[in-house]
Each structure stands twice: as structure tokens, then as C-alpha cells.
Structure 1
Amino acid sequence: MIIKSLFYMTEDAWIESPFYCDYGYNILFGKGFYINHGCTLLDVGKITSGLEFAKPISVGNHVWFGANVTICPSVTMGDNVVIGAGGVVTKNRPSNTVRVGSPVKVIRENK
């Protein structure tokens, strides 16, 4: 996959196309990261997943984004989080939850 040569990604991280970003070099994807079709990441600052870096946006391990999800700056998400299609994440989100809507709200716990 060409995108793996552009970003820092572990072997099991995956991005479906189309995918859009500002710069690309500010994006670091860790273990178990998955982005569905139509995602846009505004990476003026670093965006990381499951990595140890200073970061304005932090996404845990085993995270799944549905199509057309928006992640606002300075958000931290825990591990095992699902954000449903079209979701807008405006605040920090704890681990083990499924969230949908604009802004996203918990619809169930992941156990």
C-alpha cells in the first residue's frame, strides 16, 4: 500500500481510501489502527495512535473510525473505541465505548 510509505504505520494499521490530510508527516498510526472510507485528518499538529509521542490529538490502540468521521484538535481517545460514520469528536473520549452522532455520544460500552 503506497500510503504506508508516506506515513509512519505499523504493519497491522490500515486506511481505506479516499483519505485526506493536510500534511501527512504529522500522522503516526500504531497497532490495530483502522480508518474507514472518506476520513479527513487535519494534521497541523501531530496525530498519533498507540505511540509514545507529544501530541495534541491522541488515539489509543484498537480504534475504528466509520466513514466521514471528524476528530477535532486536542482530543484524546482511549483504547477499544468505535466512532460511527459521520461522527464528530469534540472532547476527550474514554476507552471501551461505541459512540455516534454530532457531537458523538455513547451508545454502548465495549466489553
Structure 2
Amino acid sequence: MTESEKMHDESLYDPSDAEISAQQLTYLDKLYDYNQTRPTEKAKRTALLKALFADIGEGCYLEPPFHANFGGHHVHFGERVYANFNLTLVDDTHIYVGSRTMFGPNVTIATAGHPILPELRARGLQYNAPVHIGENCWLGAGVIVLPGITIGDRVVIGAGSVVTHDLPSDVVAYGNPCKVARPVNEHDRAFYFKDHRIEPNMFN
């Protein structure tokens, strides 16, 4: 098995492998081009994202600067995904994000990890585990999602949370480590923020 193949099955591998490094530099050059675009160059940004990502649906918007270890080459986005400034995707293996999910500023999604045993770490070895995030989620500012995590649909994760375990669908969760606080409920159908009511016509 090649080092490139080991990247995607949670094996220990050498990320400095010549083949991996050469591919990575190609993707990072394209990512550099994306981060140098002007706000008015919307068509250019869209074209670059389609060239960078493994899959990206219609209507996605990523506010530069956007950071990714492999330029998004192992990232799969649905439609209308929004990311604020400084989204960081450690995409050494695959990251899957469902449609209409939103990322606040400074969110990090990591797939890469390093052995705890110092002798292995000294050799520069690494392992990767994919991350799955469902549809219509909202990850607040500064959220960190660790390797191998699965997050369900319609999940809200509070700002600054560190997600160390899987989260089910339809919950509000926050904290370090991130824990489920409550389900999305009827109160959320009446109020969108503190005592601010949702107007009935918003459901039309």
C-alpha cells in the first residue's frame, strides 16, 4: 500500500512522502489564487472552488481567507454552504458537509492526528479520519471539530466549542468538550434570539 493510499484508511503514514508533497503543493497554489481574488470577482471565485474541491454544490460561498491542507481537494460540500472568514479545513482525508450548513469565523475542521507515542511522532507519522457534517447545521465562531467526528442534520454548535464526540441530529450543543444541551424545540419555533419573536410570515 502506498503512502497516498494510507491517507484514507486511518493507517499511520508519512505525510512528507514525495508523491504526497508534490500533489499538495499543486493544490495549495490554486488555493493561493482563490485567496488573492477581489470581492467583485465572484465568477472567478466560483470557478476556482469547483477546481479546488472534490465536490461543491451550487450557491456555496467561502469568505477569504480560506485555509485547507490540500486546498479542498478532499472536501465534499452540498449546496449553499456558507463559510465566514478563516475557515480551516485540515483535509488530509475526506470532509463531507451537507447543504445549507453555515460556518462562523475561525472554524476548524480537522481530519489529521498524530500518535501519542513520542517515538512514532518523532518519525513524523500521521493518521487521518474523515469528518461528516449534516445538512442545515450552524457551527458558531471558533468551533473546532476533531478527526473522525460525525455531526447530524440541523445541529447548532455554540461558539468556541470543541467537538470530541459524535452529535445527533436536531440538537443544540456547546462546550469544551462539546455536549448536547437540549433538542431543537417548540420554543425555537417562536423565538429566534432571546425575546425576539419570529413573525408568522417567515414560515411562508
| Structure 1 pair 84–13 and aligned structure 2 pair: CA distance change class (3 A) | farther
Q: Is the 8 A contact 1:66 1:84 kept in 2?
A: yes
Structure 2: any 5+ residue segments left out of the alignment?
1-41, 100-128, 186-204
- CA deviations on 1:10-44 (whole Å, 9 max, x unpaired) are 12433334332211101111135333333322111
Report SS of the residue matched to 1:4: helix
Is residue 2:9 matched to residue 1:9? no
| Structure 1 pair 12–62 and aligned structure 2 pair: CA distance change class (3 A) | farther
- Distance in 1, matches of 2:61 and 2:163, equals 20
Partner of 2:69: 22
- 1:61 offset after TM fit, Å? 0.8
- 1:110 offset after TM fit, Å? 1.8
Instruction: Give the CA RMSD over aligned residues.
Output: 2.3
For 2:143, which of 62, 65, 69 is the aligned residue? 69
| Structure 1 pair 99–87 and aligned structure 2 pair: CA distance change class (3 A) | same
**Residue identity opposite 1:73 in structure 2:** P
**Residue identity opposite 1:44 in structure 2:** D
Partner of 2:79: 31
Instruction: Map 1:68-107 to 2 at 5 A.
Output: 68-107=142-181
**Residue identity opposite 2:151 in structure 1:** M
- 1:103 offset after TM fit, Å? 1.6
Taking only the aligned residue pairs, the percentage that are identical comes to 40
Is residue 2:134 matched to residue 1:60? yes
Q: Is the 8 A contact 2:167 2:180 kept in 1?
A: no
- Distance in 1, matches of 2:79 and 2:161, equals 22
- CA deviations on 1:27-79 (whole Å, 9 max, x unpaired) are 1111353333333221111001239xxx8211111112222221111100100
Partner of 1:42: 90
| Structure 1 pair 38–87 and aligned structure 2 pair: CA distance change class (3 A) | farther
TM normalised by structure 1 equals: 0.79
Structure 1: any 5+ residue segments left out of the alignment?
none
Q: Which has the higher contact order (CA 8 A, sep 6+)?
A: 1
Which of these two proteins has the greater Rg computed from alpha carbons? 2
